[in-house]
Structure 1
Amino acid sequence: MWEYEQPVNIIFGNGSINKLGKIIEDNGYKRGLLVTSKFFYKSGFAEKLKEDSQNEIIDIFSEVEPNPTIINIDNCAGIIRNNNIGFIVALGGGSVIDCAKASGAVSLTNDSIKKYHGTNLSLPNKSIPIIAIPTTSGTGSEVTCVSVVTDKELGKKTPIVSKSFYPKLALIDPELTYSLPDNITASTGIDVLCHAVEGYWSKGHQPICDALAVHSARLVFDYLERAYLNPRDGVAKEKLAEASIIAGLSFTLPKTTSSHACSFLLTSKYNIPHGEACGLTLDYFTRFNGEKDERVNEFSRLLGFKDANEMADNIYRLKKNIGLLVDLKHLKLTDNDILELVEKSKNANLMNNPIDISDDVLLKMYTTFK
């Protein structure tokens, strides 16, 4: 038995950002807040978008860190409450969109988002309407019900899942990714591959998400290195943007697994970008899962590889070719650091892996990266 739900309206295409004003007008949205990054605020693009909204966007919030924090979200939610905000436009990467989603939902309570962070308490199933406009081809956050939140005080980075997080509309304009630095294209692109692969082999897999995962992963293998080497390659950038949103659709219901489980401490403690942290272990877990789960080999064959080992070889080669980490030697990890990585990897995402992963497996893996 399986179910499929995707409530987000999607508009995809070059130049689609120009439709924003009409989208706001057609939906009758009033008193909007633009949530974005400092980059877009300083460049003037955020102000231009505000003007193009026919004055319906009344304020800009740009205090979003690369991994959105409890403080970022609570501050944004306070602005929403205090200014009677009626809708949100989220312009940026996954951090911005995650901040907007969590802020929009928690703003309708009197709570801090901390109350719902890793506590198993559920947010009310309602939110401020969000128009999500991704500027990276990576997280798929514009179509998911997940927001990854960091509590700096506790040193904790974990996802919150709530149906209230689904944006009302995702507006994907591949041209917004043309100016991305090469390292961001690489890191977010490997995150797309992780979403697709993990969504397929997840314990919660189902046939619609499986088909989406195959489509997305194939696009990443075909176009990520090309987009990295040629940042103005319009075809490659468009295909990566397509891969990103399709991968978002492929994992939002099945959820991610082992590679994401191992990424959180690598990001929160060692400052490795999220996508790169996820990609670090993807080839390892591809081999590990492929030894006992025939679905992983089946997935590999659907992508044109002989088996999971050949796909893992290609993942490793892709990471090398686009300048991503393939080990952790630069960190000079101690034995205690390794033990901490093992312990902090044991979270709900790890439990979603198709094959049980013991402490010994994690210890062996992290030791090979040392």
Structure 2
Amino acid sequence: MIPRRKVLDLLQVISSASCKCPAHAHPGTSYGMSDILDHRSHASSVPDAKPSKEYAFEMACSTIRYGPGVTREIGMDLVNMKAKNVCVMTDSNIAKLPPLKTALDSLTREGVKFEVYDKVRVEPTEASLQEATKFAKAGSYDAFVAVGGGSVMDTCKAANLYYSDPEAEFLDYVNQPIGKGKPVTCTLKPFIAVPTTSGTGSETTGVSIFDYEPLKAKTGIANRAIRPTLGVVDPLHTLSMPERVCSYSGFDVLCHALESYTAIPFTERSPCPSNPILRPAYQGQNPISDVWARYALQIMRKYFERAVYRPDDVEARSSMHLASTMAGVGFGNAGVHLCHGMSYPISGNVRSFQPKGYNDDHPIIPHGLSVVMSSPAVFSFTGPACPERHLEAAELLGKDVSNAKKADAGLILADTVRGYMNIMKVENGLSALGYTKDDIPNLVRGTLPQHRITKLAPREQSEEDLSNLFEKSLTVF
């Protein structure tokens, strides 16, 4: 039985505003039920009229199964899905580790045929996605399974999409303005995702991110149709994560939660879609996404450091694995904003950086590292737009804000995040990743096309603003 107090707390979250600042509502009002009814009554006063701004949000998420050892069940799941021939995708590192063996043993035990593609590129590119798709199209599969981190799951999403729509051109589904951003109308194959890291939350979302090498920036495919049918979240897999992988992926969780919590509310996003199929996956923060963001931040406060520095701490690593999934539910519907928008050219323009714990044959800046690099500068910048949310986030992460001033909210959250970066021994800014001030114009150019997420930031940003944010991120400490 759920305690009555928790039920009342949840109802209060859903029915009332969490923030009353100008960036998140009209002054003195909320985006609660009365605001939504105002949208509806205004629209209904004119026949067939559509409000200029969004008036609804949707919550879409993969079915999630969580528990130690649940990977043993996926063979039975595939039999239940009536799958007879399965495409299993992973990367060359996971291919040698217990998570893949456990998954394949389960398929073999249940008599499910499979073929393994183990050439997924960590930090995928448009070329590597097309290679994976080519492999899939050469077979005849009635289901897909991904065993790995975000790169594997995102690659498998794309392969399933283009396998299911073989006539599509690659850029048809890629986000605008780089691609055409077409809605997905074909039926995809059943897809089981088994995450082995605690960061991306990709097992819950309809988003596939990759480096678009012609522009040296990340972009992606964002549509609810590509989300996994089932996410199998097995905390035992996290015990094989190296320290740096655990740290960087944890910062991805942190930024997912912080960005979705401080994004514009769904009622401030425009234009309102003319058809529900056009409603984007990233809609702006909403009362339900707030619940998951708060949960993830509370878990980070208690378990992040333990998970990084005690690899055999099953409780800590299990909790971080669940926090990754829960933050994924939140940001997968609310969206992220500037930290992620700026991270894409940071990753895409990597020269020679090769982090410890990543056995890759090419330079990479892991996604969580590229995201957290700009976070102190970003939250200092966005703080004035919604100070209450910045202060609450800092408090959830362990900061005493009882005597804090709203004017200092952004700086307080920035310092709180910087403290976590220091504890986790994160590299000291973009300069440590090989960037100089001369690179900033190119990094800004790579951020500008990321409209899908930068427009969700609670404060608009000019090219000069972006330049200043990158400059402030050259060093962090």
Scaled to the shorter chain, the TM-score interval is over 0.9
The 5-angstrom pairing of residues 79-118 of structure 1 reads: 79-109=135-165, 110-117=167-174, 118=178
What SS does the corresponding residue of 1:253 show, helix, strand or coil? helix
Q: Distance in 2 between matches of 1:342 and 1:7?
A: 32
CA RMSD, 1 decimal:
1.9
Query: Does structure 1 residue 297 correspond to structure 2 residue 399?
Result: no
2:82 is aligned to 28
Q: Give the partner amino acid of 1:296.
A: H
2:461 is aligned to 357
Q: CA deviation at 1:80?
A: 2.6
Q: CA deviation at 1:73?
A: 2.1
Of 294-303 and 129-138, deviating more is 294-303
1:144 is aligned to 205
1:345 is aligned to 447
Q: CA deviation at 1:332?
A: 5.6
Query: Does structure 1 residue 121 correspond to structure 2 residue 175?
Result: no
Q: CA deviation at 1:68?
A: 1.6
Kept in 2: contact 1:74–1:112 (CA 8 A): no
Q: Distance in 2 between matches of 1:322 and 1:297?
A: 22
The 5-angstrom pairing of residues 52-71 of structure 1 reads: 52-53=106-107, 54-71=110-127
Q: CA deviation at 1:288?
A: 1.8
1:170 is aligned to 231
Of 346-355 and 66-75, deviating more is 66-75
Of 48-57 and 229-238, deviating more is 48-57
Aligned residues: 370
Alpha-carbon displacement from aligned partner over 1:145-170 (angstroms, at most 9, x marks no partner): 10002233443321211122111000
What SS does the corresponding residue of 1:73 show, helix, strand or coil? helix
What SS does the corresponding residue of 1:58 show, helix, strand or coil? strand
Query: Does structure 1 residue 310 correspond to structure 2 residue 364?
Result: no
Q: Give the partner amino acid of 1:171.
A: V
Of 61-70 and 204-213, deviating more is 61-70
The 5-angstrom pairing of residues 196-345 of structure 1 reads: 196-203=257-264, 204-270=284-350, 271-294=364-387, 295-305=389-399, 306=401, 308=409, 309-331=411-433, 333-345=435-447
What SS does the corresponding residue of 1:49 show, helix, strand or coil? helix
Of 334-343 and 33-42, deviating more is 334-343
Kept in 2: contact 1:50–1:57 (CA 8 A): no
Kept in 2: contact 1:183–1:323 (CA 8 A): no
Of 8-17 and 85-94, deviating more is 8-17
What SS does the corresponding residue of 1:107 show, helix, strand or coil? helix
Instruction: Extract unaligned runs of 5+ from structure 1.
Output: none
Query: Does structure 1 residue 49 correspond to structure 2 residue 103?
Result: yes
Kept in 1: contact 2:171–2:180 (CA 8 A): no
1:179 is aligned to 240
What SS does the corresponding residue of 1:147 show, helix, strand or coil? strand
Q: Give the partner amino acid of 1:220.
A: M
Q: CA deviation at 1:66?
A: 0.9
Q: 1:212 to 1:43 in 2, by over 3 A?
A: closer
Kept in 1: contact 2:72–2:103 (CA 8 A): no
What SS does the corresponding residue of 1:357 show, helix, strand or coil? coil
Q: CA deviation at 1:55?
A: 3.6
Q: 1:56 to 1:123 in 2, by over 3 A?
A: farther
Kept in 2: contact 1:73–1:113 (CA 8 A): no
Alpha-carbon displacement from aligned partner over 1:228-256 (angstroms, at most 9, x marks no partner): 11011011001101110000001011111
Q: 1:331 to 1:36 in 2, by over 3 A?
A: closer
Q: Distance in 2 between matches of 1:320 and 1:7?
A: 33
Give % identity. Answer: 27
> If you compute each CA radius of gyration, which structure gives the higher value, 1 or 2?
2
Of 59-68 and 305-314, deviating more is 305-314
Q: Which residue, 251, 260, 272 being the options, matches 1:190?
A: 251
Which structure shows the higher helix fraction?
1
Q: Distance in 2 between matches of 1:123 and 1:116?
A: 7
What SS does the corresponding residue of 1:127 show, helix, strand or coil? coil
TM-score (norm 2): 0.73
What SS does the corresponding residue of 1:121 show, helix, strand or coil? coil
Kept in 2: contact 1:192–1:247 (CA 8 A): yes
Alpha-carbon displacement from aligned partner over 1:145-197 (angstroms, at most 9, x marks no partner): 10002233443321211122111000000110101110000000000010011
What SS does the corresponding residue of 2:114 show, helix, strand or coil? strand
Of 131-140 and 64-73, deviating more is 64-73
